[in-house]
């Protein structure tokens, strides 16, 4: 989040948009992400705890980036309304979010479930001591190769950062760069869930996939409508 925030500040300065209002927008993004990440796992904590409490939810409720992203989006919208900023800020945030996510997933790779078993040559295995510390991973026994799902996402996020950086200022509608990123990440995350090892809850899909399926369709429909309404989508650059 520090790296992402620093990049947003830098880009805001470069484009002459770094004023007091922009600082409040950044604060709104951070607070919104924190609240959204917590709220998205609140129901899971409540269902698994015999005596759920607010303190317990904060301490043991967990966090999810699928809640953090819409929370940050909402936080930005609220902050912009409060400070009277009408111009879109999505293009400033999009590359920063991708880069921040790439860095954040390093921590996930080191502490969370690696992925489902695989016979692919790049599968990762861990020793018994490490396997015992990985939560919710019954197959993380020593010698079993697993999909490095977090590494897949790091590669995706770095690639998206490069693409978003390349297309800054080239989309016809300001702010669509962030929408393009969110849609791309939703599609990727839906696919990678099949090798993350998350519990299947309905029709062979995980909870994140059930959340992503309708939101991805809505996002794709919006961008398709935008492209048809304002073609061409790209404008020449110097």
Domain boundaries, the chain: 18-86
* Residue 59: predicted pLDDT: 67
Q: Is the peptide bond before 232 cis (omega within 30 degrees of 0)?
A: yes
Is the confidence at residue 192, as pLDDT, over 50? yes
* Residue 51: predicted pLDDT: 67
Vertex 215: Cα angle to 173 and 91 (nearest 5)? 25
* Residue 46: predicted pLDDT: 66
* Residue 76: predicted pLDDT: 94
* Residue 50: predicted pLDDT: 66
59 vs 214: which has the higher pLDDT: 214
Is the confidence at residue 106, as pLDDT, over 90? yes
How many C-beta atoms lie closer than 10 Å to residue 222's C-beta? 13
* Residue 164: predicted pLDDT: 94
Lowest mean pLDDT among 44-53, 112-121, 158-167: 44-53
Quote the pTM value.
0.83
| Residue 48 pLDDT grade (very low, low, confident, very high; cuts 50, 70, 90) | low
């Amino acid at each position: 989040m520090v790296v992402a925030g620093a990049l947003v500040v830098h880009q805001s300065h470069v484009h002459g948009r770094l004023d007091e209002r922009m600082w409040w927008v950044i604060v709104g993004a951070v607070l919104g992400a924190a609240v959204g990440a917590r709220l998205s796992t609140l129901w899971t904590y409540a269902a698994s705890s015999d005596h759920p409490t607010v303190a317990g939810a904060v301490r043991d409720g967990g966090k999810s980036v699928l809640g953090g992203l819409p929370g940050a989006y909402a936080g930005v919208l609220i902050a912009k309304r409060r400070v009277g900023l009408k111009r879109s800020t999505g293009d400033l945030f999009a590359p920063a979010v991708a880069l921040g996510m790439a860095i954040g997933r390093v921590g996930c790779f080191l502490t969370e479930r690696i992925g489902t078993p695989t016979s692919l040559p790049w599968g990762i295995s861990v020793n018994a001591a490490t396997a015992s510390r990985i939560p919710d991973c019954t197959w993380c026994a020593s010698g079993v190769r697993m999909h490095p799902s977090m590494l897949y996402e790091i590669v995706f996020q770095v690639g998206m950062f490069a693409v978003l950086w390349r297309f800054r200022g080239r989309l016809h509608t300001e702010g669509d760069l962030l929408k393009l990123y969110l849609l791309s990440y939703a599609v990727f995350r839906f696919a990678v869930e099949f090798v993350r090892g998350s519990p299947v809850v309905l029709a062979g899909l995980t909870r994140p996939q059930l959340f992503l399926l309708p939101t991805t369709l809505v996002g794709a429909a919006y961008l398709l409508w935008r492209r048809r309404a304002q073609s061409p989508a790209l404008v020449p650059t110097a």
